[in-house]
Amino acid sequence: MARAIAGWAVLENRPLLTGVETVLIRRLQRWESIPRYQRLAMLWAFGAIALGLVTWACFALGLNFSTASFAFLIVIIALSLLDSFVSSVVFSVIAVGCLNYFFVAPLFTLGVEQGQDLLALAAFVAASFVITSLIRRVRELGDIHREQARLINLTQAAYLAEAQKLSLGGSFGWNATTGEIFWSDESYRIFGYDPGVKPSLALIAQRVHPGDGDKFRPIVERGAVANGAVDFEFRLLMPDGAVKQVHLVARPLSGAPGQFVGALMDITARQQADQELRESEYRYRNIFRAMAASFWELDFKDAGSMLRELRAAGVKDYAAHFAAHPGTVREMMRATHVIDVNDQTVALFGRGDKAELLRSLDAFWPEASNHIYAASVIAAVTGKPSYAAECKLRTIDGREFDALFTACFAPETVAEGKLLIGVIDVSERVRAQEMLRRVQTEFAHAARVSMLGELTASIAHEVNQPLAAIATNASAGLRWLDRAEPNMEEVRALTTRIAADARRAGDIIARVRNMAARRAPERAQLSLNGVIDEATTFLLHELQAQDVTLTLTLAPDLPPVAADRTQLQQVVVNLAVNAVQAMAHGGARARKLSIRSARDGDMLIVVIEDNGPGIAADHLDRLFESFFTTKDNGMGMGLPICRSIIETHGGRIEARNRDEGGAAFIFTLPPAT
């Protein structure tokens, strides 16, 4: 209620409270100082008694509904002044119940017969809610008024002391004629003296750093004699050995010769920060200049404005927009300007003149690398800390080379529209990788030819079958033609069979030629099950000769893989031949070879299992090492080449022993995207 009374004064635009209001406020402040749970208990008890007394009095006096409603409103207003809005609402609801029960027909029930009585009750509820809401607002205004009064009561000295603490600065007065000095509390703190000590020039001289003593005295003396302004920085040497940097500013008071007023600022932290910043900039500049990598500092402000214009135009998906409008990417490159480059950049991109590199970025960016620039812009605007990708870049004389492009998006530099990018020439690495791929291809070709040599008997058997069928069918056809009445239908049927057998022989020879051919790998979308079926045709005679039973368990509806057909066939054939040879050398009687395909999560998996002797424990970790072999006449290149092929296609290969005996080779491949 005290807050409410103060609020009424504010609403009436009265700066001061009356005597009665002041007394009332003091009493209510004592009420508000009671613990809240006690105050609520007393309030609810008082409210219940007050509502009960009003109900009894109005009913005993036979007052009508309107008069009783007015009495109840007075009680609710008094209760609202004592506590919160919630309590007032509860008392209002109780009052409505009392009015309805004792003063609205039919009496002593909560029912209402006439519509006007219902409207009267609703009006009472609305009036009580409006009044309690206004009182709550008045209480809030009272709080605001009290806070304003508290702030007004703060003296100028308190304001000055708080400001000096925040600014790490003190104030002082100096009478050069009498030598008297006056310090603020913050000045005492800066010099490290207790506030009870009387300041003097001698005390100040004790704190001045010996290295600045010769500078301090002449400046003070000159200012006193000339009655002029003083502004200089010096150091203080504190008793604990700490050194403070201080900035002193003073000016003479007008009309009071020899008297000065001034400010003293502790700038130690600022100077340390400045020194750290200078050292950081020095380190950064040295790194920028001396690193072997190419570094660029770019002005991205105009390109950033273009991005904001695109956003304002309704563009939300930058990637899709850049893909549909490649010209926009080139425009952003032209709007991105090179501010600075290091010496390595001049050596890599220029002709010895740094100035010719300080131009728009599009001069160094081929059309083929537009997507990399677009991706870096998207990374910057989506809040990523950095971006890196390999691409083609162009030197000042038009030569293109392979580069690793990196960009750093530090928030403080991005906000200023500046970017730092790095470029590393990876041409040698790319050439080395290409040479490695060629060597791997040569090794794979040699392994295929070697494997075909091992399967010569099987291949000869496969070719011999259609050739023998051709000879048999041709002889039969000649006999039908030598008859007195040649049977042309039989000859035609035999000729059809000859053609089919010839195609079959041609297909076998074509597969052998493809396996033996020396060519660069060509990836296409292939059926993994189809590759396995084709690979097993090379193995049929070998399996029969070694009395091996082949079981194919190929999962239907597998997605295609993006791979080179010949290389995948080489992997399957090589692993299957190894399994057959292991079972033959191990002396297994019922030799079984199983090839399974399936889907394993996001990958396709192929498992080749045998029931041979398995793999020695000390060989498991070395199986895929180059030139490691367990065969007397082996080269140790088959399995390493298989691993290289599978990993080149984005998969993995491993070997393990089966619990039931034998070995299993498993490789995975990703489905084509």
CATH number of the domain bearing residue 237? 3.30.450.20
Whole-number pLDDT of residue 219: 74
Looking at the structure, tell me whether residues 527 and 658 fall in a common domain: yes
Tens of pLDDT along 213-237? 777 777 777 766 666 777 888 888 8
Residue type, position 665, single letter: F
Residue 193: enclosing H or E segment and its boundaries? Answer: none
Query: Which one is predicted more confidently, 475 or 605?
Result: 605
Q: Give percent above pLDDT 90 in the chain.
A: 13
Q: Give percent above pLDDT 70 in the chain.
A: 73
Overall size of the chain counted in residues: 673
Whole-number pLDDT of residue 590: 83
Cα separation of 375 and 387, whole Å? 8
Whole-number pLDDT of residue 542: 72
- Per-chain mean pLDDT for the chain: 77
Structural tokens at position 336? 């991105």
CA 203-207-210 angle, 5° bins = 125
Beta 524-526 vs 400-408: how paired, if at all? unpaired
Looking at the structure, tell me whether residues 511 and 654 fall in a common domain: yes
Residue 285 covered by a domain: no
Whole-number pLDDT of residue 440: 58
Query: Which one is predicted more confidently, 106 or 315?
Result: 315
pLDDT over threshold 50, residue 334? yes
Residue 657 covered by a domain: yes
Query: Which one is predicted more confidently, 510 or 232?
Result: 232
| Cβ atoms within 10 Å of 639's Cβ, excluding its own | 24
Q: How confident is the model at residue 2 (pLDDT cuts 50, 70, 90)?
A: very low
The three-state secondary structure class of 267 is: coil
Looking at the structure, tell me whether residues 357 and 268 fall in a common domain: no
Whole-number pLDDT of residue 597: 94
Are the C-beta atoms of 246 and 264 separated by less than 8 Å? Answer: yes
Whole-number pLDDT of residue 166: 45
Tens of pLDDT along 451-494? 555 555 555 555 655 676 677 777 777 877 877 777 788 778 87
Residue 431 covered by a domain: no
Structural domain that includes position 202: 167-272
Query: Which one is predicted more confidently, 496 or 3?
Result: 496
Tens of pLDDT along 539-561? 776 777 788 899 999 999 899 99
What's the average model confidence in pLDDT over 375-393? 90
Query: Which one is predicted more confidently, 563 or 43?
Result: 563
Tens of pLDDT along 66-87? 777 777 777 777 766 666 666 6
Q: What is the number of domains present in the chain?
A: 4
pLDDT over threshold 50, residue 18? no
Looking at the structure, tell me whether residues 69 and 142 fall in a common domain: yes
Looking at the structure, tell me whether residues 360 and 480 fall in a common domain: no
DSSP letters of 135-186?
HHHHHHHHHHHHHHHHHHHS-HHHHHHHHHHHHTEEEEEEETTT--EEE-HH
Looking at the structure, tell me whether residues 584 and 549 fall in a common domain: yes
* Bridge partners for 526 per DSSP: 561
Whole-number pLDDT of residue 558: 92
Q: 514-518, long-range: CB within 8 Å, 24+ apart, which pairs?
A: 514/565, 514/566, 515/448, 515/451, 515/452, 515/566, 515/569, 515/570, 516/445, 516/448, 516/449, 516/452, 517/445, 517/566, 518/441, 518/442, 518/445
In which residue are the tokens 């007065």 written? 173
Query: Which one is predicted more confidently, 420 or 513?
Result: 420
Give me the phi and psi of 168, to 5 degrees please: 55, 35
Looking at the structure, tell me whether residues 70 and 115 fall in a common domain: yes
What's the average model confidence in pLDDT over 329-348? 89
Residue 160 covered by a domain: no
Looking at the structure, tell me whether residues 213 and 71 fall in a common domain: no
Cα-to-chain-centroid distance, residue 486: 85
Nearest alpha-carbon partner for 118 in 133, 102, 99: 99
Tell me which of 85, 119, 153 is where a domain ends: 153
Q: How confident is the model at residue 515 (pLDDT cuts 50, 70, 90)?
A: low
Residue 522 covered by a domain: yes
Residue 146 covered by a domain: yes
Cα separation of 463 and 190, whole Å? 103
Q: What is the largest CA-CA distance in the chain?
A: 156
What's the average model confidence in pLDDT over 88-100? 72
Query: Which one is predicted more confidently, 35 or 22?
Result: 35
Integer CA distances (angstroms), 121 to 58, 69, 116, 129, in order: 17, 9, 9, 12
Tell me the Ramachandran region of residue 417: left when phi exceeds 0, alpha when psi lies from -120 to 50, beta otherwise: left
Whole-number pLDDT of residue 82: 64
Whole-number pLDDT of residue 664: 93
pLDDT over threshold 60, residue 156? no
Structural tokens at position 316? 């939300």
Tell me which of 425, 453, 480 is where a domain ends: 425
Cα separation of 142 and 28, whole Å? 13
Residue 162 covered by a domain: no
Looking at the structure, tell me whether residues 135 and 10 fall in a common domain: yes
Looking at the structure, tell me whether residues 547 and 583 fall in a common domain: yes
Looking at the structure, tell me whether residues 69 and 17 fall in a common domain: yes
Q: How confident is the model at residue 293 (pLDDT cuts 50, 70, 90)?
A: confident
Residue 352 covered by a domain: yes
pLDDT over threshold 70, residue 254? yes
Whole-number pLDDT of residue 628: 65
Query: Which one is predicted more confidently, 351 or 448?
Result: 351
Among 119-123, 653-657, 659-663, the range scoring the smallest mean pLDDT is: 119-123
Nearest alpha-carbon partner for 128 in 84, 72, 48: 72
Give me the phi and psi of 392, to 5 degrees please: -95, 135
Looking at the structure, tell me whether residues 259 and 365 fall in a common domain: no
Whole-number pLDDT of residue 85: 63
Tell me which of 130, 153, 176 is where a domain ends: 153
CA 529-503-479 angle, 5° bins = 140
Sheet strands side by side (includes 418-425): 337-341, 294-299, 418-425, 400-408, 386-394
pLDDT over threshold 60, residue 11? no
CATH number for 525: 3.30.565.10
